Structure 1
Amino acid sequence: MEIHHVTLEECHRASGVVVVIDVLRAFTTAAFAFEAGAAQILMAETVSEALELSERFPGALLLGEVDGLPIPGFDFGNSPSRLAGVDLTGKTLIQRTSAGVQGVVRSRNADHLFAASFVTAQATVEALKRLLPPAVTFVITGVLGERDGDEDLACAEYMARLLAGDRPDPEPYLERVALSYSGRLFSGDVHSDFPAADLACAMQLDRFPRALEVHRRDGLLVLTPQGSFG
């Protein structure tokens, strides 16, 4: 199996099986939302698109950020830890983020599209193995400006090892999350919008047993835990 890594600038060319990775924090947050009972998450490229979708889907909740910061008028920021204890049973969420969601939107040529982070790493690998693809492309969404994206690259490299049949020690890969440019933003609760609890959530390896898969439906990009899309 061939493994390819691309950035947000390149993922529009990726085809076949594509895994969009955003450890800090989009697809960690999405997994926690599903644990809280969310039924589906609609991906929105822009804030205005998210607001338009909220009008089309009465009762849907808005989730996301711009440049890491909560969006005025949205129900939630892009924080997994702040979804703890929230009941989202049966809810549709609409997510807009600066990295992960952009990777999903731009990976328009993918035949199979997954959204992943460390909390769904093993589940995503098992889903990929069932497809038996000749190649997998990982989209490293965290490479933005001065951000090195190493938290996402570490996740991709860890999953690639699992796909190869190896049993790597996960600790060195998880340590890279905390040491990455983005990871350091969450050190010590210096900024209330980047709580250390979010970093801890992102490093909970394999907390969730189901891969998160993106489906295209009626012009929408719909994220659900694998097996729940009807």
Structure 2
Amino acid sequence: MKFRYTNLETCHEATGMVVIIDVLRAFSNAAYAFARGAKEIYPVANVDEALKFKAETPHALAAGEVGGLQPEGFDLGNSPTQTKDMDLNDKVIAQSTGAGTKGIVRSVKAETMFAASLVVASATTKFIRKLEPEVVTFVITGQYRPGHGDEDLACAEFLEALFDGQKPDPQPYIKRVFDSRDAIQHLDPNQTAFPLSDLDLCTHIDAFDFAMLVSKENGRHVMRAVKP
């Protein structure tokens, strides 16, 4: 198995098996939503699309962020601390974020897609290994600004080690998340929209035993929790 790395600027060229990574916080939050009973998550490109989906779909919710903050009209933000205590049983959610969901929408040539983060690391690699792809491309969504995205790169490198049959020590990867640029606001107690607990929740490696498969159905991307 070979591995390639790309980002939001170049992921439109990725083909075959594509793994879109957003540790802080989109695809960690999505995993917590599935754990709380969410049925499906529909990743979309922007806030307007999320609100349109919510308006047109009975009992649907909107989740996500702009600048890390919950947009007006959304039911959830992008915080696992908030999501982990919600009852989302059988809910359908439209998700719009600044990085993660854009990675899905922009990966237009991908044949198979998974959304990934550390909380679903082992399940993701187990599921993909069964599909026997020759090449896996990682989309490092956090690299959309200079100096950002090491938390997503750390996750990709952790996944690659798992694919290679290694048993990597998780601590260096967890430290990279806490040391990343996007973690800084979570370390500031005055930034109440960015709780420190999110960092702990997003670095709970293998918190869940499912992967997050992304399909395209009726012109929309849809994410579901699948067990390997």
Shorter-chain TM band: over 0.9
Matched with 1:19 is: 19
Cα deviation for residue 146 of structure 1 reads 3.4
Question: CA separation in 2, counterparts of 1:30 and 1:161?
Answer: 23
Deviates more, 1:9-18 or 1:144-153: 144-153
Cα deviation for residue 38 of structure 1 reads 0.4
Matched with 2:59 is: 59
Q: Where in structure 2 are there 5+ consecutive unaligned residues?
A: none
Deviates more, 1:172-181 or 1:138-147: 138-147
Deviation per CA, 1:171-212: give whole Å up to 9, x if none.
101110000101122114330111101111101000010100
Matched with 1:222 is: 222
The residue correspondences of 1:95-174 to structure 2 (distance < 5 A) are 95-174=95-174
Matched with 1:38 is: 38
Question: CA separation in 1, counterparts of 2:139 and 2:220?
Answer: 20
**Contact 1:115–1:213 (Cα < 8 Å) also in 2:** yes
Q: Number of residues paired by the alignment?
A: 228
- Aligned with 2:210: secondary structure? coil
**Contact 1:147–1:182 (Cα < 8 Å) also in 2:** no
Aligned-partner residue type, residue 111 of structure 1: E
RMSD: 1.2
Cα deviation for residue 59 of structure 1 reads 1.1
Cα deviation for residue 84 of structure 1 reads 2.3
Matched with 1:210 is: 210
Deviation per CA, 1:26-69: give whole Å up to 9, x if none.
00000000011000001111111111111221210110101211
The TM-score normalised by the length of structure 2 is: 0.97
- Aligned with 1:111: secondary structure? strand
Deviates more, 1:95-104 or 1:55-64: 55-64
Identity over aligned pairs, percent: 44
Aligned-partner residue type, residue 111 of structure 2: D
Matched with 1:201 is: 201
Cα deviation for residue 227 of structure 1 reads 5.4
